[in-house]
Amino acid sequence: MNWITIEVFDGAVPAAGWARAWHDRLVEAAVTGGAVFWDEHAHSWGVVLEFTFEDERRRDAFRQAPVLLAALDAAPDPLTGVLVYPHRGGGDGIRQPRRPRPVRGGGTAELPLPDPDADRVVACTAEPSATRAIAEPA
């Protein structure tokens, strides 16, 4: 048996929605391409799709299928939120989700420097000229 596993992690939208949108097309392409078994697992961090083929040639052809490539491009995070590997998923036994890597720059912008005159206190020692003109007789 030759497995192919596709892990899709949550991104801007949950991976479960991606799986619902692409599930039927992916299963159809896999079965048409010779898959003998498929399975889907939902996790708190995303989804895992597993397909089994009789030989490597069919598995590798499915890996290059246009519908699979389109589905991977449409994943919530197509650059860092998709893993595809040629064996059954898991293996390390850890049930903890992978920790996301921090975003370079953290999505922040540099704050402007404070105005140095913002806290300056100016003493009022003289009356305004309009008030002085009313108070003093002409």
pLDDT tens digits, residue range 36-91? Answer: 999 999 999 999 999 999 999 999 999 999 999 999 999 998 888 999 988 876 54
Q: What is the DSSP letter of 33?
A: T
Handedness of CA 123, 127, 131, 135 (dihedral sign): positive
Q: Domains in the chain and their CATH numbers?
A: 2-85 (3.30.70.100)
Mean pLDDT of 27-44: 93
Q: Taking the complete model, does pTM exceed 0.75, yes or no?
A: no
Report the percent of the chain where pLDDT is more than 90: 51
pLDDT of 94 > 60? The answer is: no
Which pLDDT score, from 0 to 100, does residue 88 have? 78
Contacts of 34-38 with C-beta under 8 Å, sequence gap 24+, read 34/58, 34/62, 35/62, 36/1, 37/1
Rounded CA separation 74/85 (Å):
18
Report the percent of the chain where pLDDT is more than 70: 75
Q: What is the DSSP letter of 126?
A: S
